[in-house]
Amino acid sequence: MCLRRMVKIDMVDVSIIIPAYNVEKYIGRTLNSAINQTFKNIEIIVINDGSEDNTHDIIEEYANVDSRIKVIQKENKGVSSARNQGIKSSVGDYLMFLDGDDWVENTAVEEMYSFLINEDGDILVSDFYLDYGKKIMDYYFEFNDDSIDNIEYIKKILLGQSSGVIWNKMFKRKLFIEHNILFPENITLGEDACTLIKLIYNSKKIIKFNKSFVHYIQRPERITATNNEKSYSIYDSVICLTQYFYEIDLYHKLKDEIEFFEYLYVFYYRVIEAKTNNEVTVDMYCRWKNTRKKIRFNIHYKNFINSLSFNKRLKSRLVLFNYNLACIIFKFTKRFNKDIITFGE
C-alpha cells in the first residue's frame, strides 16, 4: 500500500471516504462534487483499489491541485478493504462514504453536518437519488419521527423497508473507533447492511433528514453484478448478521425479521426476480430449499406476498413449491411473458 500526499490537518470536521476501482469514466465527476462542497473544512480520502484503467492518473491530477485530497494506492482487495483503509486514515470527527462512480450535491456536507450537530446525533440518514442518466428518481423512506429508534430501524432494514446502504448517511467517527466496527472484507454483497446494523445498534441517537443529496448511478455493470457469482456472498451476509444478533442477544427477538431477510435477499431477489435461470439462479434456489425454512408461516412473508401483484404472487408461490414446474409453466404460457420474468430461457 502506498500513501500519496498525506497532508497533516489538525482540525477536520468531516472526512469523505471514496473507494475507487476502474471508474475512469466517473471518478472526475465524483471528485468534483466532493471538492466543490460549500462546506470547506473537509478531507477527501480516495482509495485506489488496484485499478487497471486510468483511475489512478485522474485521482493524482486532482490531488495535485487540492491539498485536501489524500490518495491511498493499494492492491485490489475489494470495496470493504478500501473503506476500512479510509476509516483508519481519517481524522475528521464525522465520516461520509461515497462510491467512485456516484456524486453528491454541493450543499450535502454543510446541510447534513449542521443538522447532525444541532440535533447532537450519532447517525444522520438522508434520502437519495436513483440516477438513470436522463431519469432521476427521488428515493426515500419514511419514519414517523425525526429521531429513529435503533431496534425499529434495524427491523426496517431486515424487512427491506429501509435502505441498508452506507453512502446516504453521515456518522460520528467515534462509533467506528470506540466499538471497533469495520466493514467485513470477506463479504462482497450485503457488506453495507452488516456494518450499518452494528453502527445503528451502538448509536445513541439516529436522525432523519428528509432531503436527497447523493446520486446513486444506475449503470449496467452495477446492476448485473448482483446477478452473478457474487450473489453467493449474500449467504455470508446472512451468517454475519445472525452471529451478531446472537452476540448482542437479539436473535430471538428478531427471529422472524431475520428469516424474512434471508428469504427476501437469498430467494426472492436472486431467484424470483432473476433475469435468467442460469447456474447461479438454480444453485441459489437449491440452497434455499435445502434450508427447509418454513417461510410460509412467517407473518412478514405473508404480508409481503399479499402486497405483490397477482402475477408475481402466483409466480412466487409456484417457484417456492416446485421450481422445475414453474419453469415449464412460465416458458410455455405466453400470457405471463409481458408481466413477469420468464424462466427457462
Q: Summarize the confidence of residues 226-230 as an average pLDDT.
A: 61
- CA-CA distance, 296 to 99, in Å (whole number)? 37
Res 342: pLDDT: 32
Residues 6+ apart with CB under 8 A from 120: 205
Distance of CA 181 to the CA centre of its chain: 16
Res 176: pLDDT: 98
- Between 255 and 344, name the one with better pLDDT: 255
What is the share, in percent, of the chain residues with pLDDT greater than 70? 85
- What the chain holds in terms of domains, given with CATH numbers, is 2-218 (3.90.550.10), 226-336 (no CATH)
pLDDT band at 283 (very low <50, low <70, confident <90, very high): confident
Res 7: pLDDT: 45
Tens of pLDDT, residue by residue over 3-47, are 544 444 468 999 999 999 999 999 999 999 999 999 999 999 999
Q: Summarize the confidence of residues 70-91 as an average pLDDT.
A: 97
pLDDT band at 230 (very low <50, low <70, confident <90, very high): confident
Res 142: pLDDT: 66
Name the residue among 160, 161, 126 with its Cα closest to residue 146: 126
Tens of pLDDT, residue by residue over 103-149, are 999 999 999 999 999 999 999 999 999 888 777 777 777 676 677 89
The sign of the dihedral angle between the CA atoms of 263, 269, 273, 278 is negative
Instruction: Quickly list DSSP for 118-184.
Output: HHT-SEEEEEEEEE-SS-EEEE----SSSEE-HHHHHHHHHTTSS---STTEEEEHHHHHHTT----
223, pLDDT greater than 70? no
Kindly report the average pLDDT of the chain as a whole number.
86
Tens of pLDDT, residue by residue over 171-186, are 999 999 999 999 999 9
- CA-CA distance, 55 to 48, in Å (whole number)? 7
pLDDT band at 344 (very low <50, low <70, confident <90, very high): very low
Name the residue among 253, 323, 310, 312 with its Cα closest to residue 282: 323
